[in-house]
Amino acid sequence: EKRELMKLVNRATVSKDEKVVELGANIGNPMDAEKANENGAEGIGLYRTEFLYMDRKTLPTEEEQFQAYRKVLEIMGKRPVVIRTLDIGGDKELPYMNLPKEMNPFLGYRAIRICLKEKDIFKTQLRALLRASVYGNLKIMYPMISSLEEIREANAMLEEVKRELEKEAINYASDIEVGIMIEIPAAAIISDLLAKEVDFFSIGTNDLVQYTTAVDRMNEKVSYLYNPFNPAVLRLIKLIIDNGHKAGIWVGMCGEAAGDKRLIPILLGMGLDEFSMSAGSILSARNQIQNLSYDKMKQAVDQVLAMNTAEVIEAFIEQYI
């Protein structure tokens, strides 16, 4: 069966009725990009840059970051590479930053919130990203966005860094798309407003499920409540995709749900444009989508959204797997 799947390595991802989607890989370092390549990734949908900052004693330098980003961009060539800016805090700690212990780290000082305060850290990363941008098809993505102001502030810093590079006569690509993760319910709810300020959305279901259902994603005791099939979560996902499309931007997903066999039919039917997952899931997802009808899944989504529990939805969706 593995051999059959390998035939799909260089294929586009197209449903039975010709709906084209993109399958990307989630990576944590440049070596993963090679693996993404071997497994038929059409791009990188999420490069988690925090691993560059973890397991060491000091911040990574601009040059170190530049080399890592450049490597990934070169490996992927013309294909899109979505690099997410630093997403620490929550469960990911950086001891050398001496951040104070918090009562609720997942609701605290993390990700874009840190970057907008620790401007030097953020600007160093943005400089490295811009410098690397000339080596491929870079897209920049901000994590944990909860308001319009955060996008504007982050973009203002990006512009500032561009001006600096221009003064130093350092090149960067002129057409870099900038997008945000939608992983906080507030962002999902105002996704119509946010869509006007960015080039793309990527839905982070790992956190979106956690924050929507008030279930700590690390806590075994309440894990039975952590379910992307929760109708509240599915309604939010649909809302995000619709709002993105109304504003004319593309919508992807880089949370675990994007690679889940049981969710792929629903996400296809909702019109998701890009699915980003671990490299090992890509070929089977492509195979699955080839055997699904987008039109039929659109109708299935209408039915799913009228159902009242995760259990009923999960049972219903079995027939499409």
Interacting residues with Mg ion (CB under 5 A): 183, 204, 207
Binding partner at 255 among ligand PEP, Mg ion, none, C-beta below 5 to 8 Å by kind: ligand PEP
Q: How far apart are CA 5 and CA 293, in angstroms?
A: 19
Binding partner at 205 among Mg ion, ligand PEP, none, C-beta below 5 to 8 Å by kind: ligand PEP
Binding partner at 254 among ligand PEP, Mg ion, none, C-beta below 5 to 8 Å by kind: ligand PEP
- Judge contact between 181 and 84, C-beta under 8 A: yes
- The β-bridge relationship of strands 44-48 and 274-277 is unpaired
Binding partner at 22 among Mg ion, ligand PEP, none, C-beta below 5 to 8 Å by kind: none
Binding partner at 48 among Mg ion, ligand PEP, none, C-beta below 5 to 8 Å by kind: ligand PEP
- Tell me 200's DSSP state: E
User: Least distance in Å: CB of 222 to ligand PEP?
Assistant: 17
Query: Which lies closer to ligand PEP via its Cβ, residue 15 or residue 252?
Result: 252
Q: How far apart are CA 255 and CA 277, in angstroms?
A: 7
User: Least distance in Å: CB of 315 to ligand PEP?
Assistant: 25
- Judge contact between 43 and 82, C-beta under 8 A: yes
Q: How far apart are CA 190 and CA 180, in angstroms?
A: 13
Residue holding tokens 């995709």?
A: 241
Q: Which helix (H) or strand (E) holds 71?
A: helix 62-76
SS3 for 27? strand
Q: How far apart are CA 312 and CA 317, in angstroms?
A: 9
Query: Which lies closer to ligand PEP via its Cβ, residue 228 or residue 269?
Result: 228
Query: Which lies closer to Mg ion via its Cβ, residue 207 or residue 260?
Result: 207
Binding partner at 29 among Mg ion, ligand PEP, none, C-beta below 5 to 8 Å by kind: none
Measured CA distances, 261 to 122, 127, 213, 290 (Å): 36, 38, 22, 13
User: Least distance in Å: CB of 25 to Mg ion?
Assistant: 17
Q: How far apart are CA 211 and CA 233, in angstroms?
A: 10
Question: Residue numbers of the site for ligand PEP (CB under 6 A)?
Answer: 46, 48, 87, 183, 204-207, 254-255
Query: Which lies closer to ligand PEP via its Cβ, residue 161 or residue 180?
Result: 180
Q: How far apart are CA 116 and CA 259, in angstroms?
A: 31
Query: Which lies closer to Mg ion via its Cβ, residue 44 or residue 313?
Result: 44
User: Least distance in Å: CB of 3 to ligand PEP?
Assistant: 31
User: Least distance in Å: CB of 161 to ligand PEP?
Assistant: 24
Query: Which lies closer to ligand PEP via its Cβ, residue 9 or residue 239?
Result: 239
